[in-house]
């Protein structure tokens, strides 16, 4: 059994399959595991998680250790966050998103004026929608007939009338909180969790806040990289072999089935292959002579990110682990990303500071800032110019909101652009989540976790079902391992 790519989904798939008794070899083009979840250090003693920074549904990690009959806490520990996020609006209003729904609702009423009951009712409805649909749309393959005859599917179908499938996220939020565009903007932001546009994405995605306020947001001890590290340790203990710096150049096929892999170093015989590589380069690079599912591969791509990693030479007590600084015109910002394929002059800025939780991530009295802006995926834009323009806009926004000139506080810096993300992680165009969810059928148009044409070929990761982000990548691993174990 071969797994292509040691990203989070590849690691989870390898661990699950090894625990089930399969011999597994993971081929990774890079020097180490983690994919977008890798870590690095900058001069002066600053450590950074390169990619994902918000962590929900930690039980999906724990489940893998329990499957192996291991105690999860021996490998991986985490704490529930409270508060979850600090919000800074363009008009100067500040809001703290407390973990507990009623406390958050009270904060909203006090700071924004929207009745607390409106917030608690909205979150309760999001919870009901999640409970009704997650079993079908997230935990199972949507491309197997058996899925549609399960109790979970019947439950989901019964709930469809209240899910608002015909509306968009923005319409749902405007209906619930139309009296305050700031609160609409806050909930619209959740579309970016899978690289989508709330003005196009279906209202069903309005259940995403339930993951934070209903189930919880968490921080892994040691940072997000600890997730990949713990799964790598488990996989290694169960005999998984990792071949680093060995990029797969071709998936070998004969008579309609997978027979092996070819790398620059050797040719290997494998009857089953799981690709954790983005589905587009999997077909274009590794299966160039096989018919590709063109309709699937041509689905609109998700957004990408422009990330500034800054070592900051002082501390900001008013900031927390997760911080959002909103643009004044969110619709214009999102239109720039998804329609004009560029970056607006005024952008929403996300600042993640892991040294708030892990002090050794920065020198004493300093902080490590992961500063991210949502941008379009790479289509040949002038990224040097856009990066310079956006960096200046980010510095203006943060300096104004915090009442301090940030520029002279930057002791060290690294920048990750969409072309860099594409090159480093084999993500087509640097799109962080594969295809976007900008239509009601997006979930069904994602590539399945298996090939309907080539026997023995499977897919996991953010570019296939059920989608991008840590929890969905872990669920893709669960689905793939189940398909292999049951097949």
In a domain, 285, yes or no: yes
Cis peptide preceding 430, ω within 30 of 0: no
Per-residue tokens: 362: 């920065």
Give the pLDDT score at 132.
Answer: 78
For residues 313 and 293, give the distance between their C-alpha atoms in angstroms, rounded to a whole number: 50
In a domain, 450, yes or no: yes
**Domain extent at residue 273:** 2-33+224-299+434-486
In a domain, 429, yes or no: no
In a domain, 7, yes or no: yes
Phi, psi torsion values for 374, nearest 5 degrees: -75, 130
In a domain, 114, yes or no: no
Per-residue tokens: 106: 């009270």
In a domain, 140, yes or no: no
Q: Which residues pair with 231 in a beta bridge?
A: none
Per-residue tokens: 212: 């934070």
For residues 76 and 60, give the distance between their C-alpha atoms in angstroms, rounded to a whole number: 12
Neighbours of 296 (CB within 10 A): 18
Q: How far is CA 282 from CA 8, 297, 482, in A?
A: 17, 11, 22
Strand ordering across the sheet containing 25-28? 241-244, 25-28, 2-4, 273-275, 457-459
Residues in the chain: 487
In a domain, 108, yes or no: no
| Count of the separate structural domains present in the chain | 1
For residues 338 and 209, give the distance between their C-alpha atoms in angstroms, rounded to a whole number: 22
In a domain, 260, yes or no: yes
Phi, psi torsion values for 255, nearest 5 degrees: 55, 40
- The SS3 assignment for 459 reads strand
Spatial CA neighbour of 228 closest among 459, 14, 484: 14
Furthest-apart CA pair in the chain: how many Å? 66
Q: How far is CA 147 from CA 131, 138, 152, 327, 481, in A?
A: 16, 11, 8, 42, 16
Per-residue tokens: 46: 């600053």
pTM of the full structure: 0.94
Say if residues 345 and 393 touch (Cβ distance below 8 Å).
yes
Where are the alpha helices (H) located in 418-469, listed in sequence order? 418-425, 442-445
Phi, psi torsion values for 33, nearest 5 degrees: -90, 170
Give the pLDDT score at 148.
Answer: 43
Phi, psi torsion values for 265, nearest 5 degrees: -85, -35
Give the pLDDT score at 140.
Answer: 47
Block mean pLDDT (10 aa), the chain, length 487: 98 98 97 95 98 91 98 97 98 98 98 97 91 64 49 61 73 93 98 94 91 96 97 98 98 97 98 97 96 91 97 98 98 98 98 98 98 98 98 98 98 98 94 84 76 96 91 95 91
For residues 68 and 91, give the distance between their C-alpha atoms in angstroms, rounded to a whole number: 51
CATH code at position 287: 3.50.50.60
């Amino acid at each position: 059994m071969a797994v292509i790519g040691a990203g989070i989904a590849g690691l989870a798939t390898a661990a699950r399959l090894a625990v089930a008794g399969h011999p597994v070899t993971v081929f990774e083009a890079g020097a180490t595991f983690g994919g977008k979840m890798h870590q690095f250090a900058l001069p002066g003693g600053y450590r950074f998680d390169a990619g994902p920074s918000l962590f929900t549904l930690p039980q999906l990690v724990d489940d893998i250790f329990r499957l192996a009959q291991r105690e999860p806490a021996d490998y991986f520990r985490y704490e529930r966050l409270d508060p979850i996020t600090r919000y800074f609006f363009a008009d100067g209003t500040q809001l703290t998103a407390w973990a507990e729904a009623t406390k958050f609702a009270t904060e909203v009423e006090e700071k924004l004026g929207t009745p607390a009951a409106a917030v608690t009712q909205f979150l309760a409805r999001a919870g009901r929608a999640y409970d009704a649909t997650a079993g079908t749309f997230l935990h199972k393959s949507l491309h197997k007939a058996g899925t549609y005859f399960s109790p979970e599917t019947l439950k989901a179908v019964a709930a469809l009338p209240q899910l608002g499938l015909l509306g968009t996220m923005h319409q749902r939020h405007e209906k619930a909180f139309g009296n305050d565009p700031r609160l609409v903007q806050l909930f619209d932001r959740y579309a970016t969790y899978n690289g989508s546009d709330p003005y196009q994405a279906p209202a069903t995605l309005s259940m995403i806040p339930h993951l934070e306020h209903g189930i919880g947001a968490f921080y892994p001890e040691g940072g997000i990289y600890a997730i990949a590290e713990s799964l790598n340790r488990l996989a290694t203990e169960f005999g998984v072999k990792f071949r680093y710096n060995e990029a797969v150049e071709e998936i070998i096929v004969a008579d309609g089935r997978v027979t092996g892999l070819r790398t620059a170093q050797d040719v290997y015989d494998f009857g089953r292959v799981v690709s954790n590589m983005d589905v587009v380069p999997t077909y274009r690079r590794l299966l160039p002579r096989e018919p590709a599912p063109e309709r699937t591969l041509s689905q609109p791509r998700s957004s990408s990110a422009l990330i500034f990693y800054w070592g900051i030479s002082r501390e900001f007590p008013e900031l927390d682990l997760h911080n959002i600084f909103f643009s004044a015109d969110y619709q214009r910002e999102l239109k720039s990303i998804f329609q004009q394929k560029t970056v607006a002059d005024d952008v929403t800025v996300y600042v993640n500071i892991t040294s708030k939780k892990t002090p050794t991530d920065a020198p004493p009295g300093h902080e490590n800032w992961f500063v991210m802006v949502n941008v379009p995926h790479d289509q040949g834009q002038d990224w040097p110019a856009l990066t310079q323009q956006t960096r200046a806009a980010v510095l203006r926004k943060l300096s104004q909101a915090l009442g301090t000139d940030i520029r002279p506080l930057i002791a060290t810096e690294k920048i990750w652009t969409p072309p860099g993300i594409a090159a480093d992680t084999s993500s087509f165009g640097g799109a962080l989540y594969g295809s976007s969810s900008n239509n009601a059928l997006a979930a069904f148009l994602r590539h399945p976790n298996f090939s309907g044409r080539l026997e023995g070929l499977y897919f996991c990761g953010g570019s296939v079902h059920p989608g991008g982000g840590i929890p969905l990548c872990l669920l893709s691993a669960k689905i793939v391992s189940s398909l292999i174990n049951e097949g």
